[in-house]
Amino acid sequence: MAVNENLRTPIVSVMGHVDHGKTSLLDRIRGSAVADGEAGAITQHIGATEVPIDNIVNKCGDPSLKDKFIVPGLLFIDTPGHHAFTSLRSRGGALADLAIVIVDVNEGFMPQTIESLHILKRFKTPFVVVANKIDRIHGWEANKNLPFLATYNKQSERVKSDLDNKLYELIGELYNIGFNSERYDRVNDFQRNIGVIPISAATGEGIADVLMILLGLAQRFLEGNLHYDATAPGTGTVLEVKEEKGLGTTLDIILYDGTIKKGDTIVVGSLGDPIQTKIRALLKPRPLSEIKAEEKFQQVSEVTAAVGVKISAPNLEGALAGSPVRVVSTDTIDAITEEIKSEIADVQIDTDTIGITIKADTIGSLEALVNELKKEDIPIRKANVGDVSNRDIVEVTAIEDPFFSVIVGFNVKILPDAKEKLQSTDVKLFLNDVIYRLIDDYKDWVKKQKE
Ligand code: GDP
Ligand code: MG
């Protein structure tokens, strides 16, 4: 076996609590390659980093591995700051083919990370848990860039058992969420057990293991999902809607199928009717060697999946993060516009005649919130993307049942005029960036009201 030309690069999302080491891990995957003189091989995308298979295999120190793998490499998404993994969807479900859940081994899982685990479960996304910062374990002797087992075997018995205990705690927490897991070298069947890989993003220990296990998962579970058609019209997901100096509103997208060209007409979701527009420019970051150049981006005439790219085009102001973006022709524009509209409306439907009103920052996170509320049998009257507006308050004021005169907002804020309005009403507002906290807060409040 060798690299199969018909398979695209698997898309890997890195999730974890702030400060647990997402950026450091990606830097390590990128940076040590720069140090190894392999910088040319690594491609920086918009919102993503591509590591080719040769590079990964070199890092693992066994060239014969190359023949074992059929994927061309791995594309790591730099999940934008606060955006939960929930925002990243594709037509088939989750945008990411694989995921890394990173956790500070000394702190354990945090609420948002647990939420990410639930979502991975729902989408059945294969993933690994990376237990980071092992170098912080008292007495740890760092062995730069060694694979995990090699460095583990050099540690004292006390350090080993200290780490083992911390891992057991993680494994216990994973069990409570419904996952069987084991330290990765003890996993025989990755379909049944989640591998937990101890690493240090600071020293590079265990990084090779992470790359190897990801390739193994891609190989074993993804082949059927990675077929793509380079000649098909481009299909992607909006990562971020961003203002850029001199360009106005732009879209950072991950293209997961087909090709997208300068001058193509695209359709992208918005709160109202989908936006139809023509691509003025496709932009990629400048190579590292040209970092001092005046312009941040360079133009390209076309790109093929899987790739992260910035789109500059007119009328992108209302575009929604997390929404689909598709290349259309005069024959397909109407049908695809309808499809995108209904895909967004599916989430935004007025679900029940009575119920609470919910808001979220992206379609994906709104969908996640709807799902969790349904599990709790909490009826939803209206679900919408965007900050809490004056209009939301006015609408909810008209609801007589006090238990439903409620707005629940995930990852959103309340607009200034709405805040003022809220004070003169009995509307109850809950805001949080953790879904289950929102639900708990609402349930606690309802319970108190009933007492
Ligand atoms: P992020 O918020 O998840 O992207 O976390 P960062 O990668 O920014 O890391 C947060 C902090 O933890 C930074 O100060 C890093 O230098 C530090 N850090 C990350 N990984 C490690 C590690 O493996 N060992 C140690 N000692 N510090 C780390
Ligand atoms: Mg970071």
For residue range 48-70, what is the model confidence (pLDDT) as tens digits? 888 888 878 777 767 677 777 78
Residue 16 CA: nearest ligand 1 atom is 3
Mutation pick for ligand 1 pocket among 15, 17, 19, 151 (CB with most ligand atoms within 8 Å): 19
pTM passes above 0.90: no
What is the model's pLDDT at position 345? Answer: 74
Which residues are paired to 244 by β-bridges?
248
The residues, any chain, with a CB within 8 Å of residue 221's CB and separated by 6 or more, are 126, 190, 191
CA of 217 to the centre of ligand 1 (A): 25
Ligand 1 site residues, Cβ closer than 6 angstroms = 16, 18-24, 132-133, 135-136, 200-202
pLDDT tens for residues 137-191? 999 999 999 999 999 999 999 999 999 999 999 999 999 999 999 999 999 999 8
Q: Tell me which ligand sits closest to the C-alpha of residue 19.
A: 1
Residue 25 CA: nearest ligand 1 atom is 7
Kindly tell me if the per-residue pLDDT of 90 is higher than 80.
no
In a 3-state reduction of DSSP, which class is residue 389?
coil
What is the model's pLDDT at position 48? Answer: 85
CA of 119 to the centre of ligand 1 (A): 24
ipTM given for this complex: 0.99
Q: Tell me which ligand sits closest to the C-alpha of residue 144.
A: 1
Confidence grade of residue 11 (pLDDT, cut at 50, 70, 90): very high
C-alpha–C-alpha distance, residues 325 and 322, integer Å: 9
Q: Tell me which ligand sits closest to the C-alpha of residue 201.
A: 1
Which residues are paired to 342 by β-bridges?
none
Confidence grade of residue 35 (pLDDT, cut at 50, 70, 90): very low
Least confident of 136-140, 323-327, 343-347, 386-390: 343-347
CA of 451 to the centre of ligand 2 (A): 44
Token match 């920052």: residue?
Answer: 361
Residue 185 token pair: 């070298």
For 359, the enclosing helix (H) or strand (E) is: strand 356-360
Least confident of 21-30, 99-108, 147-156: 21-30
**Whether 105 contacts 132, CB under 8 Å:** yes
Residue 20 CA: nearest ligand 1 atom is 3
Mutation pick for ligand 1 pocket among 24, 141, 163 (CB with most ligand atoms within 8 Å): 24
CA of 342 to the centre of ligand 2 (A): 34
Kindly tell me if the per-residue pLDDT of 333 is higher than 50.
yes
| Termini Cα distance of the chain | 67
CA of 128 to the centre of ligand 1 (A): 18
Q: Tell me which ligand sits closest to the C-alpha of residue 15.
A: 1
Average pLDDT over residues 84-94: 64
